[in-house]
Homo-oligomer: A and B are copies of this chain.
């Protein structure tokens, strides 16, 4: 496995693979890889001849008061995980390689990005769409892999790929959880032992909501109220949002029938965590 830092090196390697008729999968990440990322790489290795993992904490998707500086990084561990999982190349650029001094272009969309996480993170999806477009153009993969943990991101990327005619298959992969239910996230490392326990309220309340729906509750507002009630019992938790939306349009729904996304963002202390289920 190679680790490269420049766009030119990635292009050269992919060109070489293409000459040999090999297929290429891309797993875009911000590094500090965990079992969730590993599941994406595993799937990409199964589907493609060669797999590129990008490791880049993208400044453009962080708001001014967010955790860009403190976002955890551990390139040695990331490299070992990628190598073990069978990736062929890590692309680990400096911000200056991705954003030259007079950089000013962006990719954005007028639907899907305003609600859910977009409410508290207004420039986030513009940053995501822009950097993912860049990675798509640099790597030109056959397939790209995104976790359902970032459900809105997955929906946004799928929509962007369709709108802008990227010739790339987007593969969404299931949420990977700790044994006690907490969705794997690089940001879990921010949690104190006490907060780590409190963070279980996300998966626990979602499970409750899912059961209500499975038991026949059709009124989305009632399901949301039950989930909120469960979260509010936890003193360390502060709700950013709990919403039930159409999985394709991400518009709020009144009924729990059809393909819906139940999603939440909850602060545990200062750490903002997200979780969801799709049914």
Contact = CB atoms under 8 A, between A and B. Distances in A.
Nearest to A126: B108
A107 interface: yes
A159 B164 CA distance: 18
A108 B105 contact: yes
Contacts of A140: 140, 167
A249 interface: yes
Contacts of A159: 102, 104-105
A216 to B, nearest CB: 31
Interface string A35-53: 0000000000000000000
A267 interface: no
B104 A109 contact: yes
Interface string A91-115: 0000000001011111111111000
Interface string A137-150: 11010000000000
- Residue with the greatest number of chain B CB neighbours at <10 A, chosen from A109, A133, A140: A133
A133 B133 CA distance: 10
Interface residues of A, number: 30
B7 A133 contact: no
A178 to B, nearest CB: 35
B102 A106 contact: no
A138 B163 CA distance: 11
A27 to B, nearest CB: 18
Contact of A129 (B105, B160, B166, B249): B105
A225 to B, nearest CB: 30
Nearest to A108: B106
20 contacts: A11-B167, A102-B111, A102-B159, A102-B249, A103-B163, A104-B109, A104-B111, A104-B159, A105-B107, A105-B108, A105-B159, A106-B108, A106-B109, A130-B164, A133-B164, A134-B163, A134-B165, A137-B166, A138-B167, A140-B140
